[in-house]
Chains A and B, each alone.
Chain A
């Protein structure tokens, strides 16, 4: 089973601060995805990274896939209260027909 470890588990910051959350594995992934989940809702895809070393930007969010395709990071610049949520990374789970999720980082951005 390919496991994804996310850190930190919880993060509480003030509006305007920058932050980075991490997703690590001992296994190589063909791709990794980042989702955001708000309370009482389903996860929503933010981005997919495919190529080792790839960097993708989505407004104030920057996603990076490690060169060895075993890890990924999400950096948020000038966080806003609307960024509050559970950030999940996910990857093809070793076998063919599922995505495996990490436990997530619960981010709270205080006004």
Chain B
């Protein structure tokens, strides 16, 4: 069964360092997302990506964050200068259909980021 894969599963970094989280969405999906979940808290939307550009971003997704789909298969989230409060589980997701059209999201297993 097709699945969304994420790497690394866990990354520990020092505050101020750059981090890149990688995702391979399901191949025939058109919409891509990053969500994050701080331990014990809700799943929060960060950004959605469609047609090779950001379609929507949340207030969390500030200038320190960027996304890219460099080669038609990978979908990356970069945090330029990590802060302690960026520590969270980051989930990549993809969907075949538009969210307004019952676009069901398929999530990866997450990348746990720990900022020290």
Among listed A20-28, A69-77, A95-103, interface-contacting one: A95-103
Task: Say yes or no for B108: interface residue by CB 8 A criterion.
Answer: yes
Please report the number of residue pairs spanning A and B whose Cβ atoms sit closer than 8 angstroms: 74
- On chain A, the number of residues with a Cβ less than 8 Å from chain B's Cβ atoms is 26
Encoded as 1 (CB less than 8 Å from any A CB) or 0, chain B from 69 to 112 comes to 00000000000000000000101010000111011111111101
Encoded as 1 (CB less than 8 Å from any B CB) or 0, chain A from 80 to 111 comes to 00000000101011011111111110000000
Task: Say yes or no for B18: interface residue by CB 8 A criterion.
Answer: no
Interface SS, A side: loop
B45 touches A93 (CB 8 A): yes
* Nearest chain B CB to A33 CB, angstrom units: 6
CA distance A42 to B110 in the complex (A): 6
Instruction: Give the interface of A toward B (CB within 8 A).
Output: 30-31, 33, 37, 40-45, 48, 50, 88, 90, 92-93, 95-104
Interface contacts beyond A30-B100, A95-B56, A103-B42: sample of 4 additional A-B pairs, CB < 8 Å, sorted by A: A42-B110, A96-B100, A98-B45, A100-B45
* Leading 5 A-B pairs by shortest Cβ distance: A42-B107, A97-B48, A97-B55, A97-B56, A101-B43
